[in-house]
């Protein structure tokens, strides 16, 4: 029995030793487990107030700071804060300098380089802020504006895509911090700022900017790590957020109330959904209209291609016709040059012939004058006088021929009528004749022989006007022409010869040269008629068509 009792006591002693060793092991595990589980987590600290920022005491603050510090206290993490801009965060995360970035949005491009948590910490939308009275009410009002954006922020990417759909051309100014974005907009270096609504409200109030109706890009905001690394951080964060949203007394719920004044929820307010739905509807309408326009453009393009082909064919025909016309023109030019040369030679021959005839007439007149002085018989003197008259007629005819052959040789030009008239009468004995000229600087486009016209008309008055003592030159203007009136107060022209005086075969001495007057004027489509009243004077009406007369300062 004693042996049995000793045996039982030995077993009890052994059992006690086992329990003691187990207790020691459990105590050591309890003491050393925090040390084993503790880990350093480097977290980016950008300035995205009120989500994450540095307060006035230089300490990290904001919704995401509250959340990550609460998680760290639970999990035994040691948070190492790294101050940097949002754009620098992405580079440091990719290189492994930091473990975690907060307050960011996932995009297909970013998911190629980084991993994101699945449970959103916050939901927001992109919002446009502008100075009061900016007139910015729709996305279309931002065309040609300067837009301030946060460098590396998803809002900049989203706005560029949104603006591109509406064909909005804007100038983008990227800044390193929210304060720079809003300060630049308030100072006028930018026309508007685009940031998340959660981050923008407080800054907009501080810089006295207004919230415009332009909103877009609803987004879920969360955490990101380097691709393929620190997956346990994301798992822990997702579990923490899911529990916090379900518990109104959680740190998550209290922090949402503290920083944003709202109950814990990641649901976007209904009015925002309505606004976004309206914007999406407008985009859809724009896409439909663009599709319709594109179809119309294609149709019009096809028509233009057909028209272009037709025009090309017509152009080829015109090119062939042009080539033919050019050849004809060159041939006409050669013919004209030959004709001009022949006419020049003919004029030279005429000049030599006329000059020889004038010399012979002059010599014959001299001999005739000597014979007249030596002849005493009256019948012979009468014959000599008739010969002199015939020589004068031949001289006049010769001068007429010389003048007529010069018609059209020189191109027409603008001529001051008053000056031409005064030059014409300077060759005549016109001192006894009073003349009045009222033309107000009138110029007409006519043949250079216009001076000859007025000389013939003035000589006609001296020769045939008989009782004429005054000549008047004036004008009357109509809607399609202007009429020069050359008038004298002489005997006038009888009705029976008014229509004959301009004919070439009318050889009566009292109208010599009027045929030449009409020929000179007709070169530039100017007409002449005689409308005077017999016994009261002659009146020649010279009609100049519109476009061939003008008035200049005297």
The predicted pLDDT at position 273 comes to: 56
Q: Write out the two tokens for 513.
A: 């040269």
The predicted pLDDT at position 129 comes to: 92
Q: How far apart are CA 129 and CA 145, in angstroms?
A: 13
Looking at per-residue confidence, does 429 or 17 come out higher?
429
Looking at per-residue confidence, does 542 or 349 come out higher?
542
pLDDT band at 528; cut points 50, 70, 90: very high
**Does the structure show a pLDDT above 90 at 130?**
yes
**Does the structure show a pLDDT above 80 at 133?**
yes
Q: Strand, helix or coil at 208?
A: coil
Q: Where are the domains of the chain?
A: 1-33, 88-268, 411-551
Average pLDDT over the chain, rounded to an integer: 82
pLDDT band at 224; cut points 50, 70, 90: very high
The predicted pLDDT at position 22 comes to: 60
Over residues 440-458, the pLDDT tens digits come to 999 999 988 899 899 999 9
The predicted pLDDT at position 274 comes to: 65
Q: Which spans in 1-62 are helix H?
A: 2-37
Find the mean pLDDT for residues 232-250. 90
Annotation: CATH topology of 411-551: Heat Shock Protein 90 (3.30.565)
Looking at per-residue confidence, does 11 or 176 come out higher?
176
pLDDT band at 356; cut points 50, 70, 90: low
Greatest mean pLDDT among 10-19, 284-293, 308-317 lies in: 308-317
**Does the structure show a pLDDT above 50 at 246?**
yes
The two domains 88-268 and 411-551 share their CATH topology (first three levels equal): no
The predicted pLDDT at position 32 comes to: 47
Find the mean pLDDT for residues 265-278. 56
Phi, psi of 261 (to 5 degrees): 65, 35
CATH superfamily of 88-268: Periplasmic binding protein-like II (3.40.190.10)
**Does the structure show a pLDDT above 90 at 399?**
no
Over residues 25-48, the pLDDT tens digits come to 655 554 444 444 478 999 999 888
Find the mean pLDDT for residues 407-417. 82
Lowest mean pLDDT, pick from 238-242, 262-266, 466-470, 486-490:
262-266
Q: Write out the two tokens for 349.
A: 């021959």
In the block, tokens 């052994």 appear at 14
Lowest mean pLDDT, pick from 128-142, 153-167, 343-357, 517-531:
343-357
Find the mean pLDDT for residues 354-374. 69
What lies within 8 Å, CB to CB, of 291 at 6+ separation is none
DSSP 8-state assignment for residue 532: P
Looking at per-residue confidence, does 255 or 262 come out higher?
255
Over residues 463-503, the pLDDT tens digits come to 888 889 999 999 999 999 999 999 999 999 888 888 888 88
The predicted pLDDT at position 187 comes to: 92
Measured CA to CA in angstroms, residue 459 lies from 393, 433, 453, 469 at distances of 16, 11, 10, 13
DSSP 8-state assignment for residue 386: H
Q: How far apart are CA 452 and CA 26, in angstroms?
A: 140
Over residues 63-95, the pLDDT tens digits come to 899 999 999 999 999 999 999 888 888 999 999
The predicted pLDDT at position 509 comes to: 47
Q: Which spans in 375-484 are helix H?
A: 378-405, 417-425, 450-464
Q: Which long-range CB contacts under 8 A does 493-497 form with residues at least 24 apart?
A: 493/530, 493/532, 493/534, 493/538, 494/534, 495/534
The model's pTM is: 0.42
Over residues 308-354, the pLDDT tens digits come to 888 888 888 888 888 888 888 888 877 767 666 655 655 555 655 66
């Amino acid at each position: 029995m004693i042996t049995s009792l000793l045996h039982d006591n030995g077993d009890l002693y052994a059992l006690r030793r086992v329990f003691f060793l187990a207790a020691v092991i459990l105590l050591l595990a309890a003491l050393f487990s925090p040390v084993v589980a503790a880990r350093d987590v480097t977290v980016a600290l950008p300035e995205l107030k009120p989500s994450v920022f540095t307060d006035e005491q230089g300490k990290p603050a904001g919704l995401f700071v509250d959340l990550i510090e609460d998680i760290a206290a639970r999990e035994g993490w040691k948070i190492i804060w790294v101050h940097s801009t949002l754009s620098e965060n992405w580079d440091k995360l990719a290189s492994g300098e930091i473990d975690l970035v907060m307050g960011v949005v996932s995009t297909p491009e970013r998911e190629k380089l980084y991993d994101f948590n699945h449970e959103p910490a916050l939901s927001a939308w992109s919002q446009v802020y502008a100075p009061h009275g900016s007139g910015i009410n729709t996305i279309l009002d931002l065309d040609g504006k300067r837009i301030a954006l946060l460098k590396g922020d998803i809002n900049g990417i989203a706005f560029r895509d949104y603006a591109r759909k509406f064909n909005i051309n804007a100038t983008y100014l990227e800044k390193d911090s929210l304060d720079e974005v809003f300060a630049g907009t308030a100072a006028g270096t930018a026309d508007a700022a685009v940031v998340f609504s959660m981050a923008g409200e407080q800054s907009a109030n501080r810089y006295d900017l207004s919230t415009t109706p332009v909103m877009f890009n609803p987004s879920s905001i969360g955490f990101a790590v380097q691709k393929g690394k620190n997956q346990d951080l994301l798992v822990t964060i997702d579990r923490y957020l899911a529990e916090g949203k379900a518990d109104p007394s959680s740190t998550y719920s209290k922090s949402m109330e503290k920083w944003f004044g709202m109950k814990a929820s990641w649901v976007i307010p209904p009015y925002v959904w309505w606004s976004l739905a309206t914007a999406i509807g407008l985009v859809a309408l724009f896409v439909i209209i663009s599709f319709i326009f594109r179809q119309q453009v294609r149709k019009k393009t096809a028509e233009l291609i057909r028209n272009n082909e037709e025009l090309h064919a017509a152009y080829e025909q015109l090119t062939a016709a042009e080539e033919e016309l050019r050849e004809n023109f060159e041939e006409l030019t050669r013919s004209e040059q030959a004709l001009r040369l022949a006419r020049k030679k003919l004029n030279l021959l005429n000049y030599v012939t006329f000059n020889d005839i004038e010399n012979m007439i002059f010599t014959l007149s001299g001999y005739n004058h000597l014979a007249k002085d030596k002849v005493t018989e009256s019948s012979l003197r009468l014959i000599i006088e008739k010969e002199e008259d015939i020589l004068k007629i031949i001289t006049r005819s010769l001068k007429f021929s010389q003048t007529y052959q010069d018609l059209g040789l020189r191109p027409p030009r603008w001529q001051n009528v008053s000056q031409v008239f005064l030059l014409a009468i300077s060759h005549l004995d016109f001192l006894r004749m009073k003349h009045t000229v009222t033309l107000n600087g009138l110029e007409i486009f006519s043949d250079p022989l216009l001076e000859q016209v007025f000389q013939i008309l003035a000589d006609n008055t001296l020769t045939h006007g008989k009782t004429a003592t005054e000549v008047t030159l004036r004008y009357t203007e109509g809607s399609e022409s202007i009429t020069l009136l050359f008038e004298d107060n002489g005997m006038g022209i009888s009705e029976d010869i008014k229509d004959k005086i301009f004919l070439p075969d009318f050889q009566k001495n009292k109208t010599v040269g009027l045929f030449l007057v009409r020929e000179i004027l007709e070169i530039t489509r100017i007409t002449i008629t005689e409308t005077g009243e017999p016994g009261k004077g002659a009146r020649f009406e010279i009609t100049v068509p519109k476009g061939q007369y003008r008035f200049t300062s005297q």
